[in-house]
Amino acid sequence: MREIYRGRIVDLRLEEVRLPNGAVVELELMRHPGAAAVAAVDEAERVALIRQYRHAAGGFIWELPAGVLDPGEEPARCAARELREETGLVADELRPLGAIFTTPGFCDERIHLFLARGLRQTAHAHGHDEAIAEIRRVPIRDALGMVQRGGIVDGKSIAGLYLAAAALGVAP
């Protein structure tokens, strides 16, 4: 293993790996601490979406509230923290929906997805590195329509919305 870069969120390494077929290859791998994202759905079946600036995506995109796990932090705690910080919402219930790998070809980032219910509004506390232009509650069916029309392109949000809709029995 040769470390190329150690950053605040990711580490980039070259690793020599023996594949299941016996071949030995050198892989460029990005190591990530993991994250959590939350589909917060209120009693009217509206989901909280944020419109956040993402430089790598070329501007503002709609997504579910999410964030990186702190060292030793449980995913549900991270989901609750990010929901509060980014939207000002506090949930009575956080139900795990599963987890996804974002780009398993070169990165080990795993995002844990949650459904939040029993929502209460408080004040949000955006971090200095977050540029959130808008917070909107959208009927979950409309959010799924945004996915289908290309209005939501973020992978974690797409997976979280469809898993939340399935858990709630909402047909797309």
Provide DSSP, the chain. Answer: -EEEEE-SS-EEEEEEEE-TTS-EEEEEEEE---EEEEEEB-TTSEEEEEEEEEGGGTEEEEE--EEEPPTT--HHHHHHHHHHHHH-EEEEEEEEEEEEES-TTTB--EEEEEEEEEEEE------TT--EEEEEEEEHHHHHHHHHTTS---HHHHHHHHHHHHHHT---
Exactly one of 45, 63, 130, 134 is catalytic; name it.
Answer: 130
pLDDT value, residue 129: 84
Looking at the fold, whether 4 and 63 belong to one and the same domain comes out as: no
**Average pLDDT score, the chain:** 96
Looking at the fold, whether 20 and 61 belong to one and the same domain comes out as: no
Looking at the fold, whether 39 and 19 belong to one and the same domain comes out as: no
Mean pLDDT confidence for 75-97: 98
pLDDT value, residue 128: 83
pLDDT value, residue 126: 83
Rounded CA gap, 80 and 90, in Å?
7
Mean pLDDT confidence for 46-64: 97
Looking at the fold, whether 46 and 103 belong to one and the same domain comes out as: yes
Looking at the fold, whether 23 and 41 belong to one and the same domain comes out as: no
Looking at the fold, whether 24 and 52 belong to one and the same domain comes out as: no
Give me the number of domains the chain comprises.
2
pLDDT value, residue 130: 85
130 catalytic per annotation: yes
Report the alpha-carbon angle 45-145-111, nearest 5. 75
pLDDT value, residue 99: 98
Looking at the DSSP bridge assignments, the partners of residue 48 are 137
Residues in the chain: 172
- Label residue 171 by pLDDT band (50, 70, 90): confident
Looking at the fold, whether 72 and 151 belong to one and the same domain comes out as: yes
Across the beta sheet with 46-54, what order do the strands follow? 59-63, 46-54, 132-139
Looking at the fold, whether 39 and 111 belong to one and the same domain comes out as: yes
Looking at the fold, whether 16 and 65 belong to one and the same domain comes out as: no
- Expressed as residue numbers, the domain containing 4 is 1-31
pLDDT value, residue 127: 80
> What CATH number is given to the structural domain containing 143?
3.90.79.10
Looking at the fold, whether 26 and 59 belong to one and the same domain comes out as: no
Dihedral sign (CA 107, 131, 126, 47)? negative
Q: Name the pairing type of β-strands 46-54 and 89-101.
A: unpaired
pLDDT value, residue 31: 96
Is the pLDDT at 125 greater than 90, yes or no? Answer: no
Q: What predicted TM-score, i.e. pTM, was given to this entire model?
A: 0.95
